[in-house]
Amino acid sequence: MNISENIKRGPIMFALIVGTFVAALNETLMGNALPELMKSFGVSAATVQWLATAYMLVVGVLVPVTAVLQQWFTTRQMFLSAMSMFFVGTVISAVAPEFGMLLAGRIIQAIGTGMLLPLTINTIMAIYPPEKRGGAMGMFGLVVMFAPAIGPTVSGLIVDGLSWRWLFYLVMPLALLSIIVGAAVLKNVSDVTKPRVDLLSIGLSTIGFGGIVYGFSKAGEHGWSEPEVIWTIAAGGVALALFVWRQLLLTEPVMDLRAFRYPTFALVTALLFVLLMTFFSSAIMLPMLMQGVLMMTAFKSGLILLPGGIANGLMAPISGKLFDKFGPRVLVIPGLVIVVVSLWLFTRFDEATTTGFLVAVHIALMIGIALVMMPAQTAGLNQLPRHLHPHGTAILNTLQQVSGAIGTALYISIMSGGQKQYLSGSSVPQSPAELAKALAAGINNAFWVGVFIALAALVLGLFLRRAKSPEPENEVSA
């Protein structure tokens, strides 16, 4: 379809950015509040963690279906539905009188988030020509990286001074603003073709991606030998294999895997999968290091991570503009080198590590991530023809959820193994000092694995080239 020249990008981007900000902020806003919620509702740690696990699980299951949803509903319908779901879930969570209702609200929020993030990327790809997409994706990157980075700090402030319900009261007006602006300015920029919906594919996708995300999440908590972990990962793997096989047979697949025929997209998918394993895992390891080894409070650990989040947010639009001018290699390769060096420095952390050193290395890591994430993603999507953009976006967003679950489980299991090995050789394994040293040893082992994973990403990055779309793009006015 031809995109009308009188569509204004600015108001559309504002609505998308505000919506994306509150959805991304919401992903990390609960972390510091979990102990308070355990007291408020009288639930165990195993129960309360479902507020995070269920959120990730729903997003992981829903994202693969968004490619079909975007072909059935207009951009406006999708956005307003997603943000309305998110808003309703936020209200339910804010007033929840018992834990089950709070969990239900979080799940409804996750449905809105799962619909929103792929829609935002696909809309950016539709309303901007290839030579301007880097800057637009950089603005998107600022939001999706900066918002989760400030989440722990914001939640620490709120939980220390106010009720946990303010975590949701804070988000409600921003979500409502996004809905109002979106209703006023958003127009359809996608092709509504209404393809046949293959329910078997959706079922296999749900079992496949859901089983893998759930299984690896549980492996990180309970270890690899639990029957629940083994069976859910096995069931997910089988369902995922059947899902892939069915997509290759269908003329109108739910997730069009023909996107992998485009070499730059295939390379970027592999690169980001590997890199995100390390990124999500680092976000879990560092608070453990600060709170378990350096004995900091949750609020202080959130403050220490804040400068890195700000640096990442500031670098995202800059790297997007540089991508438009120079292409991906100039950014991605130096960014991956910075990531490798930062992770190597993480392996040297112990109970004597200074706050300044921790802040500096984390800032370096987040700058490296900013140089890689959006430029690589934009380069991969740029090579796809327009009709494959929803599918390419769904593939990348789904693999982010899967790589996060796999990376977290891998890191935590390596960390636990390192702890046990250290304590087995200790003469006083129960002393606080030895427990702190054991945790530091385990975290160092996990970061050494991260170094080698990042080196694999660097090797992949060496093959990245600027790619052009095989189809002419339509202009939209600024």
Residue 455 has pLDDT above 80, yes or no: yes
> Residue 101 pLDDT more than 80?
yes
Q: What is the pLDDT of residue 339?
A: 92
Residues 294, 308, 178, 23, CA torsion sign: negative
Please state which of the ranges 57-61, 221-225, 400-404, 420-424 shows the lowest mean pLDDT.
Answer: 221-225
For 404, the 3-state DSSP assignment is: helix
Q: Mind listing the pLDDT tens digit for each residue in 347-394?
A: 888 778 888 999 999 999 989 988 888 788 888 888 888 778 778 877
For residue 473, the model assigns a pLDDT of 47
Structure tokens at 251: 């003329």
327 torsion bin: left (phi>0), alpha (psi -120 to 50), beta (else): left
Residue type, 284: I
pLDDT given at position 192: 67
The pLDDT > 90 percentage for the chain reads: 9
pLDDT band at 92 (very low <50, low <70, confident <90, very high): very high
pLDDT at 43: 76
What residue type is assigned to position 213 of the chain? V
Is the pLDDT reported for residue 213 higher than 90? Answer: no
**CA pair distance 251, 243, nearest whole angstrom:** 14
Res 89: pLDDT: 92
Task: Render 342-388 in DSSP notation, one character per residue.
Answer: HHHHHTT--TT--HHHHHHHHHHHHHHHHHHHHHHHHHHHHTS-GGG
For residues 231 and 164, the model is more confident at 231
Token digits of residue 305:
């991570």
Structure-block tokens of residue 166: 């303010």
For residues 394 and 444, give the distance between their C-alpha atoms in angstroms, rounded to a whole number.
34
Give the model's pLDDT for residue 350. Answer: 78
Give the model's pLDDT for residue 363. Answer: 92
Task: Give dist(CA 381, CA 378) in Å, integer.
Answer: 5
Contact 9, 478 (CB under 8 A): yes
* Minimum mean pLDDT range among 81-90, 245-254, 274-283, 336-345: 274-283
DSSP string, 156-177: HHHHHHS-TTHHHHTHHHHHHH
Identify the burial level of 253 via C-beta atoms within 10 angstroms of its C-beta, where 0-12 means exposed, 13-18 middle and 19 or more buried: buried
Instruction: List the structure tokens of 405.
Output: 């679950």
Give pTM, 2 decimals. 0.76
- Tell me the mean pLDDT in the region 90-99: 90
- Count H helices and E strands in the chain, helices first: 18, 0
Segment 455-474 mean pLDDT: 73
Which pLDDT score, from 0 to 100, does residue 3 have? Answer: 47
DSSP structural state of residue 31: G
The residue type found at 420 is K
What crossing angle do the helices spanning 355-382 and 432-461 adopt, rounded to 10°?
30
Instruction: Tell me what the mean pLDDT of segment 287-291 comes to.
Output: 78
Q: Is the pLDDT of residue 140 over 60?
A: yes
Closest CA to 290 of 298, 279, 280, 281: 298
The answer to whether the CB of 164 falls within 8 A of the CB of 40 is yes
Q: Helices (DSSP H) in 98-249: which residue ranges?
A: 99-127, 130-161, 166-169, 171-185, 199-222, 227-249
How far is it, in rounded angstroms, from Cα 336 to Cα 390?
Answer: 27
Q: How many CB atoms lie within 10 A of CB 387?
A: 13
Residue 7: per-residue pLDDT: 64
The CA distance from 351 to 436, in Å, is 7
The continuous run of DSSP H or E covering 456 comes out as helix 432-461
pLDDT at 477 over 50: no
Q: Is 174's pLDDT higher than 80? A: yes
Please, what are the domains in the chain?
A: 1-197 (1.20.1250.20), 200-253 (no CATH), 259-468 (1.20.1250.20)
Q: What is the pLDDT at residue 336?
A: 93
pLDDT range class, residue 38, cuts 50, 70, 90: confident
Distance CA 48, CA 40 (A): 11
Confidence of residue 439 (pLDDT cuts 50, 70, 90): confident
Residue 452 CB coordination number (10 Å) = 11
